[in-house]
Structure formats: C-alpha cells, structure tokens
Structure 1
Amino acid sequence: MKDWIIRWISWAAWLLAPMTGWGQTPDTLGIVIDSSEFYEETERFVLRPGDQSLLYYQDSLMVHGRGVPVRPFGDTLFGLYPSRRQPWRLARQERRRIEHYLIDLANRDRFVPDSLGIKADSAGLIILYGDSLITRIGLKESSLLRHSEEEVARWYADRIWGDLQANHADILKGKYWFLLASLIITILLILAINFAFSWVRKRVGKSNNTLAKISKVLTFKHVQLVTPDNAERTILGILGILRWVILLFVAYSLLPVILTKFGLTRDIGNTLMGWIIDPITGFFNSLVAFIPNLITIIIYIMIYRFILRGLVYIFQEIGAGNIRINGFYSEWAIPTLNLLKFLGIIFLLIFTFPLLPGSSGQTFQAISVFLGAVISLGSSSVVANAVGGVVLTYMRPFKKGDRIQAANVTGDVVERNILVTRIRTPKNEVVTVPNAQIVNSHAINYTTASKMGNLILHTSVTIGYDVPWEQVQELLITAANKTKGIITDNEMKQPFVLQTSLDDYYVAYEINAYTDKPTKMPAIYSELHKNIIIEFGKANVEILSPAYRANRDGNDLTIPENLLQLGREERKDSQSTEDKNPPPEDSK
C-alpha cells in the first residue's frame, strides 16, 4: 500500500511538471545499453538487455526538468533528483563533485574493474570505487525511475563503468600522442634555437662597423673602454650563456608538462611545475600588491623634484648675484643647494623605505641593522671630515687658488670637497689634508691679506752689540728695497725694522716688508736673504752669534774678500764725492 501511494504521487508530479515549468533544463539522450556487467565482491549483477525503461524514464525526467544531469564526458550518465525541500544548489554542487571524480578516474593510468561496487547502507544503496563514494540510490530515485533500488544501482554502475572504459582508452591514447608531439616540438624548438644563435653569431662576426660603433659609444673622455675585439668576444659570450639558459628552460618546462599527464609521475611533475609557477606567481602577486605603495612613492618623488626645482632656481640666482640676502654670501649658494639636496634625499628615503616590498621582513631588517652598525662604527672619521667640510664652507677661511698654511702645509689650494682639502706646495707636491684636521688647527691665508698689499714678510738676524743699530736697520732696509716682489713705491708700506729681543750677547733684528705676491713667497724670501748677506758683507758687518766669536783665534774676518773690496771701493767713492762737494758753511 505504501509503495503504491508513493508511485501514484511520483506519477502526479511527473504529469504536473510540464505545466508548472519547475526546474526544466535541456538534456541530451543517453546511450542504450544492450548488455553490461560488473563485479562486487563475489556477487554478479547483469542488466537485462531488453530492459530500457530506466533510460526512458530518466530521459523523460530530464526533459521535464525534474533532475540535474551528470555528464562528465558529454553524454548523460544518470541524474540527481532533489526534493522540493532540498535546494537545487546542493544538487548542482554534488553533480560537480561526481563529474570531477569520474574525470579523474578516466585520467588515471589504470583502474581496476573489481574496485567498482554496490553496497547497502541505512539510507539505501551506494556506488563506490574502492572506498570513494560516487553516488547514492534511495527510495526517491527508485520511485521516479519506477524500478527497484537494486535495478537502478546496477544500471547506474553499468553506465559509469562503460563510459569510463570508453573514455579511458581515448584519454590514454591522447596522452601518448601528446608525449610524441611534445618530444617532436621540443626537438624542433631546440634545432630552431641553435640555428638562430648560429646565425646571430655569424652576423656578429661580420658586422665590423657595428662593433666599431659600439666601441665608439663606450668611449669616455677619449678613453676607449671596449675595443671592437673585446666587444665581439663579450657579445659572443653573452649569446652563448643566453643560448644555454633558453635550452635549459625549454627542457625544464617540457619535463613537468609530460610528467603530469601520467598518474605515477604526476606528483613529481606538479612539484617541478611548482618550482616554476610559484616564484613567477609570487612575483606577480607581490608586484600587484606593491602598486599602491609604488604610486605613493612616485607622488613623494614628484613632490621632492618640484621642491628641488624651486630651490635650484633660487640658489642659482643667489650665486649669480641676482638675489641678495644680507649675511648670505653668493659662494654659499651651491654648497647650500647640495646640502639641501642631500637632506632631501635622506628624508625621501625615510618616507619611502617602509613602503618598499620586504622592508618589514626580518632579513631586510637584519641587513639594515648590520649596515647601520658598520657605518656608525667605521665612519666616525668620515663623518668628522664631512662636518668639517660643512664648517669650512660657511667659515670661508680660504677658497680655491689661495695661498694658505694649514696643518703645517704651505701651498695653493687646488681642491676642496666635503671630506678633504688638497694643497699644492711650492715643490709641486699635492698634499691631501682632512677637513677635520684643518678645523681642529689653525689656517693662515696669505692671499686675503695680499689683495690690498698688506701681507708682511719678515725674517730675523742677530748682530752683536758692537754694531750700531742704525747701521743694521739701514742695511736691512736697503736689502729689502733691492728685493723683487717687495712693495717700495708706496710711502705707507715701506720696509721697517723691529728689534725683537736683547739677548746676552747679541741683538735680534727683524726686517718687515710688504708684498702683494703671496704665491712667490719662497722666491722673495730667498732673494731677501741673499741681499741681506750682500749688504752686510759690503758694510763689513758679520752676521754671527757670540758663540761663534768666542772661538775666534785672531784670524781674518769671515767676510768674503770680494765683498770687503767692494765695500772699500764704495766708501772711497763716497769720500771722494764729499771732498768735491763740501757742505755749506752754515751746516758747519
């Protein structure tokens, strides 16, 4: 009675379905099974060849939209029949699961017929492959198809097995054809790559003009960095490396594609494929995730460049003298601009560093800490010299071309940068002096004073007390006036003598003379010393210390004889002039 009521309700629902339009979807006709069989443990089930009513009822239900067709290979194997209380979404999800599983079975290298079986459970019958569930047949399927659960299960199993067997052979044949085609394509691709690189190598060997142009481009300040022969060898070497890289990439790419087609090697192929795909996918994912930060970095750079252009214009005008600021010298313009550029780059790095990919990683942070420790511990002198360079810039103690004395080095400044100052000595030796050393000591600028003729050269001599100081002063001034480079035509800047000390046995005299040629100081000093010797020799005045006189034994004077004779002649001429021109009586 119960079975009759269920069958009557099923017929009524089947008749009302076309009028209500509930769940209608188009479907394809299934294949007609004349005979088939399968095994479940020791029990054999055979579908009667003449019983095609199951296929008829199934197609009728599909045409009227009462079921969800399962068709992994195009044709409908069977249907899933949800109840009114069961959502169709769940039925479609179940259909996708069954189709994926059956396709996976067909793609396996081999499957065992005995693994396909029917078992009973509390809700009806289930079709299994091994321990994996394919589908379930219950009272609902039996009522709609108007056959017993056992007959429906046998029919489902026969159709699944027949479709798997038919498609498995085609899939396996396709795998072998794919393997053969892949090998042929790979061989042709390798031959094409070798032919292309051989052709390129021959073209490189014959293109002498191109190599000459490359070597001409790679010329820096008339220095040829790369000759044509070196350029040819470099290009051929790069081509050889590139050829092997491409060949290895082609071979490596083919290997996982072939291995993934077969079940026994599918895991190995997937692993090899992952080694290629995962880095590329990770790179592109990181690139896409970095796009917002990249836009932010570009905005920061644009703001920095906009501010920098304004600063460049302002400081160029200050350097040219078009803009004047009280207390700000024009020679400060370029150093200040460079300093602001450096500070701007530092601030730009501070803002953009957290936006870089991997900046928050432990490896990146460890490298940053290591570099910071190295810079802080190993660059203390560099930082001191850089600070000294900034201090010298704004102190303005000297500039390029000035004659200075700094850190016991005297010469002309040939270069001054942020770290060191280079000085060329009178011996043409270029001495590099750290800026920190100049700041910590004192620097003498001879050029600054000489521009107005206020540079005073001085040298000292010691003369005994027996020589009148008037005579010594006269001789020293005469020697200074005869020296080239000493200013003599300015009454306000005439040479003068100072008695710097009165010692036990001698008096120290210092001759001071003005000059406006600081770069010729060594030559001026040399000529001044020579003239002092000549003038004192002609005046019969010895330049010596009492220690030297204490060792005298009564010999002749140490003054050269020619200078003594020159002094006698000058005195004789002076006496003759006085005799010829006696002074007036009033003067007596």
Structure 2
Amino acid sequence: MRDLGGPLARIALLSVLALSSGALRGEGTAPLAPGTASEVVREGRPAAVTLANREVVVLRARTYAASPAERAAVAATRLAELVDAGIEGPVVLQPDPLGLIVKVGGRPAFALVAPDTDPASGETLDALGRKTAERLATALREAGELRHAPGAVLKRALFALLVTGVFLAVLAALRRLGAWVERAIGAAAETRAGTSRLLGFQVFGVHVVRWLTHWIVRLALWLVGASAAYLWATGVLRVFPYTRPWGEQLGGFLLDAAGTVLLAVLGAIPGLAFVAVIFLLARVATSGVRFFFDAVTSRRLEVPESLVDVAVPTRRIAIGLVWLFALIMAYPYLPGSQSEAFKGITVLVGVMVSLGSSALFGQMASGLSIMYSRTMRPGDLVRSADFEGVVKSIGLVTTRLQRLPGEEVVVPNTLALAAVVRNRSRAARTAGPLLQTSVTIGYDAPWRQVYDLLLGAAERTEGIRKSPAPWVLQTSLSDFYVEYELSVHLEDAEAFATVRSSLHERIQDAFNEQGVQIMSPHYFSDPAAPKVVPKEHWQRIPPAR
C-alpha cells in the first residue's frame, strides 16, 4: 500500500479498515467513516473490484485518504474472506448518509458513494448499486463453485472435451463437403462444356469453372469454420466459472456487433429509400432524354442536319448531368456520408482527381470540340500528317480510325484537334468519299496523254464510282517535272487503302503500256532509254531466291 500523504490520512484509513473488520466479525454496523461529504471526491484513476475473475464494480472516488485502488484492494480482501467463510449471500444494499453499503449475508463488504458513478453515461448511485448487487451475486456463486465443488469442475471439463470433439468433427465434415462440392461442380462443367455458349462463343471453360469453384468453396468453408470456432470458444469458456466472464464478453461482443450492424441497417433504411426514389426519378429522366435524342438520330423528329450530327454527344452530356445531379442530391442520405472517414476519403479522391486529371479533362474538352465543331464524324474518310483512315468512333478522350481491315488507329483528341485534318467525305456526302493520288511526269510527255492514261487507269479500277467522273489537275510545274493529281470518288470509304493500291497498279500498267516513264523528282540528264517495263515482261515470274 502506498503512502497516503500524512499521519492524519493514515489514521483515517486505519479507522475505516478497523470498522470494516469489526463489521465482518459481526460487531455491529458502522457508517462509511467519520467525516463529511466534502472529504469524498472523484479521482481520475478508477480501480475495479474483481471476484473469481469477474468484475463487480469500478470505484472512482477517493474516500478520505483512501484512493480507488486501495478501496478496491480492501473490498477484494473482504469478499475473499466471505467466500472462505462460506457466506455467498444474500447481497443487500443499505443506504448511508454518504452513499450505499453493500452487504453480503448481513455483513458489510464495501461502500459506494456518488462519485463512483460513471459521469459519461449519466449513471445514478441507485442504478450503480443494483448493477453491482447483481454482478456480486453472480461472482459469489461462481466463487463458491470453484472452492466447494471440485467434482462439478471435472464434469465441466469432460463436457468441454465433448464439445471440442464435436467441433473438430464439424470441421472435418466441412472439409469433406467442400471437396465433394468441387468434384461435383467440376464434373458438371466437363459435361456441359460444349453447351454453355453465348452468341456462338463458349462462356466459361472447364478450368475457369474449376478455379472459381475452388476459391468460392474455400471462402465459404473459411467463413463457416470461423463462425464455428467463434461459437466453440464462446461455449467452452462459459462452461467454467473462472473463464465464464471471458465467454460472456466474447458472446457479448458478437451480439453487440450484430446489434450495431442491425441498428445501422435499420437507421439507414429511410435514407436509402430516399436515395432509391432519387435514382428512380433520374432513371425516368434519362429514359426521356434517350427517347428524345433517339428520335432525332433516327429522323423520326424533323430537326436541322447540324443538330442530328451532335445528337449523340449531347445525349451523353445530358444523361451525365442528370446522374451527376442525382448523385449530389442523394449524397447527404447515403449511410456514413456525414462521418469523418467518409469525408476524408472524399477529400483524398478530390485531391487525386485534381492532380491527375488535367490531361484527361484536356482530352475531354478536345473531344467535345471535335464533336460540336463537326470536324469529322463516324464514317468520314480523313487524313492528316499524322494519321489517315475512316472514323469509327469519336469519344471524349480518343478518336478511333480504321485504315485496313483488322487495323485500328487510336488518336488522342488533343492531337486530332491540333492537326490539320482533311475530311474527304464531308463535302461529298452523296458522291462518295474522295481519294486523290499524284504522279510527277517530265515535260517531254504531252499532258493530254497523261490525262488519258490517268483517267483510263481510274476506269479500270474496281471500287471507283463512274459518277461523278474522275478528273485530273496539274498541281505544280516544277523545274524538272509536272505534278498531276488524280481525284476519284469511292464506293466504300472503308476500302480506300485497297482501292488506292489497285489504282496505283493500273497507273503503272497504263504508263508502261504507252512507254511514258514516271521519273524520280530530280534528275540531271535524260537516260539513254525510257525507264519503262515492256508489256511482254509484265507477267514475268521473278527467279527463285
């Protein structure tokens, strides 16, 4: 016992202990101690009174010179003496001018005063006394079992072993059940492997089904096994008097957790119902928006052509705004939205988005600019210094082109917006996409002959429209050659690469047939013989390597 701070304090404490010892011997009932209520104060370090490993009460007050820890030690000693004397009840509360005296079998055990109550919960002294009496009666009964009934402890040990055996048998049965389920589902997957198809493709292979089954069964077994282990530990601990408080705490924790979850779910139902109504209204609004713009794109609603081109992006923006507004309205009613953790996560996500989304928002702004400026649209044949192809889709971030079958070119919208794009379909919606190619011919070749050769090659090329008719322009008169540009309209924009290749083949055939050489951009003198391939050599098979 620590020093209480002075001779007077020691005398006061000794008088309390002496009165208590006399009461235990039946020498009368003494008050709490001599003094006044001003000598009973609350101390910041509480101490618990325990008996048979069970907490009876937590003392928080310093009575005269005795701290809560010293009062708890004296009370534990008195209770142990009562148990040794075979006194296990009844537990009675006797009022006192300064509080309550807890008696066991008519003998004082310890005292409770008003500062012993829990200030955080608003507990009263009477409520504390009733709770203490109930706990003390249970602790005395369990302490009596430990001291005076050793045979009962042996029976409880045998019962605990039986429960443990049942628990181990349940675990073994669960393991066998899991193995049987895996085999059964694996066999069913092998039997139906050829029938589980969607749109001609196999949905799940046998190995995928086996893998999913294995992990799902293992997860289920772990959950069931953990629940069984929790129940086993709770039950076994509650069998023995000394460990019964631990079992009660373990079971109480599970019940408290389940109750907390249930109360949280019940408390969230009104808010979730309001959220469901908000999203239902948003769904109705988006359905109306989608119906309107589908009518615009399908020409069921007469609007200018310029509005039809931007109907799809406008529909996406309108639907996005509706859902964003619905999310803003529903946010305060989401469970946990007002908690500090939820607010912290929201702030973190906002910071991450602000730091890492500058490029993304730039791409999205470029995509909207392309859509609303109608620079290009799906199906157009476009070309720039960096890319060429048929536009397949225009998204908020990228534009996808197709140059050859099976080849897709993905162009960032910022690049597509910054580049000089030549749209070969926009000005010729009814005539077909425009395809152009150029050749450079020396001045010694008559331009009328070059015109005839180029137009003849176009007529012999499949995939080129006859109307509008192809035409030729002289785009440059350079120092050594004339540059001719042949323009044709295609029947199918997606075949532009193969049609252009065929057109180049026909141009070479036509010029070789007429002996007109296609010169390099620069030369210093005429060759001795024209650089042409004789017609009899067109089909010559090259020698094997």
Residues 403, 445 of structure 1: 8 Å contact kept: yes
Indicate whether 1:402 and 2:358 are aligned: no
| 1:130 equivalent among 76, 85, 109 | 109
| 1:257 equivalent among 231, 238, 246 | 238
User: What residue is the counterpart of 1:481 in the other structure?
Assistant: 455
Q: Secondary structure at the match of 1:110?
A: helix
| 1:300 equivalent among 278, 291, 295 | 278
User: What residue is the counterpart of 2:204 in the other structure?
Assistant: 224
Q: Secondary structure at the match of 2:458?
A: coil
C-alpha distance in 2 between matches for 1:325 and 1:545: 51
| 2:222 equivalent among 234, 238, 241 | 241
Counterpart code for 2:289: L
Counterpart code for 2:263: N
Q: Secondary structure at the match of 1:433?
A: strand
| 1:461 equivalent among 437, 440, 465 | 440
C-alpha distance in 2 between matches for 1:252 and 1:547: 97
Residue identity (%): 16
Deviation per residue, 1:28-81 (Å, 9 max, x gap):
xxxxxxxxxx98455679xxxxxxxxxxxxxxxxxxxxxxxxxxxxxxxxxxxx
User: What residue is the counterpart of 2:431 in the other structure?
Assistant: 452
Q: CA deviation at 1:197?
A: 5.2
| 1:556 equivalent among 528, 538, 542 | 528
Taking only aligned residues, the RMSD between alpha carbons, in angstroms, comes to: 4.9
| 1:438 equivalent among 399, 413, 416 | 416
User: What residue is the counterpart of 1:374 in the other structure?
Assistant: 352
C-alpha distance in 1 between matches for 2:334 and 2:485: 70
Q: 1:562 to 1:406 in 2, by over 3 A?
A: closer
Q: 1:516 to 1:201 in 2, by over 3 A?
A: closer
- Matching of residues 492-531 of structure 1 within 5 Å: 493=469, 495-498=471-474, 500-501=476-477, 505-506=479-480, 508-517=482-491, 519-520=495-496, 522-523=500-501, 525-527=503-505, 529-530=507-508
Counterpart code for 2:434: L
C-alpha distance in 2 between matches for 1:108 and 1:269: 27
C-alpha distance in 2 between matches for 1:255 and 1:360: 41
Indicate whether 1:534 and 2:507 are aligned: no
Counterpart code for 2:490: D
Deviation per residue, 1:81-100 (Å, 9 max, x gap):
xxxxxxxxxxxxxxxxxxxx
Counterpart code for 2:255: I
C-alpha distance in 1 between matches for 2:79 and 2:158: 21
Counterpart code for 1:459: S
User: What residue is the counterpart of 2:402 in the other structure?
Assistant: 424
C-alpha distance in 2 between matches for 1:393 and 1:115: 88
Q: CA deviation at 1:458?
A: 4.8
TM-score, normalised via structure 2 length: 0.61
User: What residue is the counterpart of 1:91 in the other structure?
Assistant: none
User: What residue is the counterpart of 1:191 in the other structure?
Assistant: 169
Residues 473, 497 of structure 1: 8 Å contact kept: no
Counterpart code for 1:248: A
TM-score, normalised via structure 1 length: 0.57
C-alpha distance in 2 between matches for 1:280 and 1:498: 86
C-alpha distance in 2 between matches for 1:407 and 1:545: 21
Counterpart code for 1:495: W
C-alpha distance in 2 between matches for 1:322 and 1:121: 92
Q: CA deviation at 1:545?
A: 6.9
Counterpart code for 1:556: A
Counterpart code for 2:204: Q
Residues 233, 247 of structure 2: 8 Å contact kept: no
Counterpart code for 1:437: L
Q: Secondary structure at the match of 1:130?
A: strand
Q: CA deviation at 1:442?
A: 2.7
Q: CA deviation at 1:474?
A: 0.9
C-alpha distance in 2 between matches for 1:256 and 1:340: 62
Q: Note the residue ranges of structure 2 that are not aligned, 5 or more in a row.
A: 1-20, 29-77, 113-136, 536-545
Q: Secondary structure at the match of 2:401?
A: strand
C-alpha distance in 2 between matches for 1:201 and 1:266: 37
Q: CA deviation at 1:265?
A: 4.5
User: What residue is the counterpart of 1:110 in the other structure?
Assistant: 83
| 2:267 equivalent among 259, 264, 289 | 289
Q: Secondary structure at the match of 1:476?
A: helix
Q: Note the residue ranges of structure 1 that are not aligned, 5 or more in a row.
A: 1-37, 46-104, 134-160, 564-588
C-alpha distance in 2 between matches for 1:562 and 1:232: 71
Residues 268, 335 of structure 2: 8 Å contact kept: yes
Q: 1:184 to 1:509 in 2, by over 3 A?
A: closer
C-alpha distance in 1 between matches for 2:244 and 2:146: 19
Q: Secondary structure at the match of 1:447?
A: coil
Q: Secondary structure at the match of 1:321?
A: coil
C-alpha distance in 1 between matches for 2:156 and 2:372: 78
User: What residue is the counterpart of 2:12 in the other structure?
Assistant: none
Counterpart code for 1:314: F
Residues 186, 250 of structure 1: 8 Å contact kept: no
Q: Secondary structure at the match of 1:224?
A: coil
Counterpart code for 1:224: F
C-alpha distance in 1 between matches for 2:386 and 2:488: 23
Deviation per residue, 1:261-291 (Å, 9 max, x gap):
x3x5465445434543333232223223222
C-alpha distance in 2 between matches for 1:203 and 1:428: 44
Q: Secondary structure at the match of 1:398?
A: coil
Q: CA deviation at 1:438?
A: 0.8
- Compare CA radii of gyration and give the structure with the larger one: 1
Q: CA deviation at 1:361?
A: 2.8
Q: 1:409 to 1:108 in 2, by over 3 A?
A: farther
Q: CA deviation at 1:132?
A: 3.6
